[in-house]
Amino acid sequence: MRARFGNISHVRKKDAVEIVTEADTEAEKEIITTIRSRFPEHSILGEESGLNDGANDFRWVIDPLDGTVNFAHQVPIFCISIALVHRDEIVLGVILNPVDGQLYTAQRGQGAHLNGQPIQVSKVKAVADSLLVTGFPYHILEIFEPVIIRYGNCLKASQAVRRLGSAALDLCYVAGGRFEAFWEQGLKAWDTAAGALIAGEAGASVTTFSNEPYNLGDHEILVSNGHIHQEMLELLRL
């Protein structure tokens, strides 16, 4: 990934707005080859290659390059996200920013870590004192009004709102206390699988906009430090 940063020869459009580079596809091939060498019977769901069913209850969920638009424009905010799911429960999450070497990891029931050191969510208790982060889905024009209403509500109520362009890193930054909350709709399983576990293991509340427990594949997610979760739910309610 580092070798390809600033050195890509072709950018292909998946559709009208979503793009893919050779870095996406090459990284996913490397990851799958590594997993297959150790766990040949596991299923693998990759953003670029789709689902490859295995012979048992374990499934790896891979986003080889979360933040492709940033990557293509040489903005150093992107990551590799890998999760392991057992019978629909996320049990392992690993997210690496290859630019700065920050490696976020979590194993269910064992806390979350940044480069081996434990991390926790922030202790801020009010949205007014919070730095929030969100993202806009590729199909934003189809759901423009609810996205912008929610964004406006949170912008007016908080200290500030950022939009970095990598949902997986957004989740890690909530886990590490840099942001107090993250919300987005229209995400895919590979965008959130690893990050949702890392945030949860760091003490975050992880739900849908209606305060139901977040399940892998849900199309909306709210992750907060817990203290401001109820306030955030109110801001996101339409």
- Domains defined along the chain, listed by start: 11-118 (3.30.540.10), 127-236 (3.40.190.80)
pTM for this predicted structure:
0.95
* Mean pLDDT computed over 67-76: 93
**pLDDT at res. 16:** 59
What is the Cα–Cα distance from 1 to 3, expressed in whole angstroms? 5
What is the Cα–Cα distance from 52 to 132, expressed in whole angstroms? 36
**pLDDT at res. 115:** 98
- More confident position, 193 or 1: 193
What is the Cα–Cα distance from 104 to 228, expressed in whole angstroms? 23
Find out whether 167 and 184 touch, Cβ atoms under 8 Å: yes
**pLDDT at res. 17:** 62
Nearest to 124 by CA among 232, 48, 2: 232
Nearest to 94 by CA among 25, 197, 3, 170: 197
Q: Is 102 a residue whose pLDDT tops 70? A: yes
Q: Which helix (H) or strand (E) holds 160?
A: strand 160-162
Nearest to 169 by CA among 93, 59, 89: 93
What is the Cα–Cα distance from 84 to 93, expressed in whole angstroms? 7
